């Protein structure tokens, strides 16, 4: 039986979710948090070429302080010395991207989700943060939290901005 890949001996890699502006994003289970699932972005050093390391650190510290219902929550930043990468643990939001919802049968609430994404964007801008990669693929329509094991109301889904980027 092969061993499951891990990051820093604590995050078990469950699935590849996609490629973002700064690196690859994975669904992981965190052993230190009882197996809770997170989205983990592995920021590759070559993606930060030409950016002042102090600016990178300051930006990541700022991400940790961002709290808004329409901006993904960054929970932890960790350096991975042997890879030269930075791990960014974010809240995992089950659901589809705004792009997928627009292509499917969930068309009615698009205006509301767009307004929610704009509210998240305005929140970032008031803090001097440029998203850097705003597109329908970077807006997650998060499924509502189920209550007592009963699936939530699809009309209660909310849009959340993903992947705030480092502005050059």
Per-residue pLDDT tens over the stretch 63-117: 899 999 989 899 999 888 887 888 889 999 888 888 888 886 666 688 888 888 8
- 26 Cα distance to chain centroid: 10
Residue 156: predicted pLDDT: 57
How crowded is residue 128: how many other Cβ atoms within 10 Å of its Cβ? 8
Band (159; pLDDT cuts 50, 70, 90): confident
For residue 152, pLDDT over 50 is answered with no
Judge contact between 158 and 142, C-beta under 8 A.
yes
Nearest partner of 100 among 152, 50, 142, judged by Cα:
142
What CA–CA distance (Å, rounded) separates 13 from 39? Answer: 10
Q: Which two tokens stand for residue 77?
A: 């930043």
Band (36; pLDDT cuts 50, 70, 90): very high
Helix (H) or strand (E) holding 19: strand 11-19
Q: Which two tokens stand for residue 89?
A: 């643990």
Mean pLDDT over the full length of the chain: 80
What CA–CA distance (Å, rounded) separates 24 from 12? Answer: 15
Residue 51 backbone class (left: φ over 0; alpha: ψ -120 to 50; beta: rest): beta
Residue 147: predicted pLDDT: 41
DSSP designation for 135:
S
For residue 37, pLDDT over 80 is answered with yes
Burial 75-97 (b: 16+ CB within 10 A, else e): bbbeeeeeeebbbbbbebeebbb
What CA–CA distance (Å, rounded) separates 96 from 47? Answer: 26
Residue 47: predicted pLDDT: 82
Backbone angles phi, psi at 163, to 5 degrees: 55, 55
What CA–CA distance (Å, rounded) separates 96 from 19? Answer: 15
State pTM to two decimals.
Answer: 0.81
Residue 163: predicted pLDDT: 62
């Amino acid at each position: 039986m092969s061993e499951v890949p891990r990051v820093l001996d604590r995050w078990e890699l469950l699935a590849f979710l996609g490629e973002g502006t700064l690196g690859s994003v994975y669904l992981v289970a965190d052993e230190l948090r009882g197996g809770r699932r997170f989205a983990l972005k592995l920021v590759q050093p070559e993606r930060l070429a030409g950016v002042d390391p102090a600016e990178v650190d300051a930006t990541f510290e700022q991400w940790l302080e961002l709290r808004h219902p329409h901006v993904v929550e960054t929970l932890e930043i960790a350096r991975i010395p042997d890879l030269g990468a930075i791990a960014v643990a974010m809240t995992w939001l089950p659901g589809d991207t705004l792009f997928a919802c627009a292509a499917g049968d969930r068309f009615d609430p698009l205006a509301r989700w767009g307004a929610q994404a704009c509210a998240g964007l305005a929140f970032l801008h008031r803090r001097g943060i440029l998203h850097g990669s705003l597109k329908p693929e970077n807006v997650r329509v998060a499924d509502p939290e189920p209550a007592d094991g009963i699936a939530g109301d699809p009309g209660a889904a909310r849009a959340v901005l993903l992947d705030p980027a480092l502005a050059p």
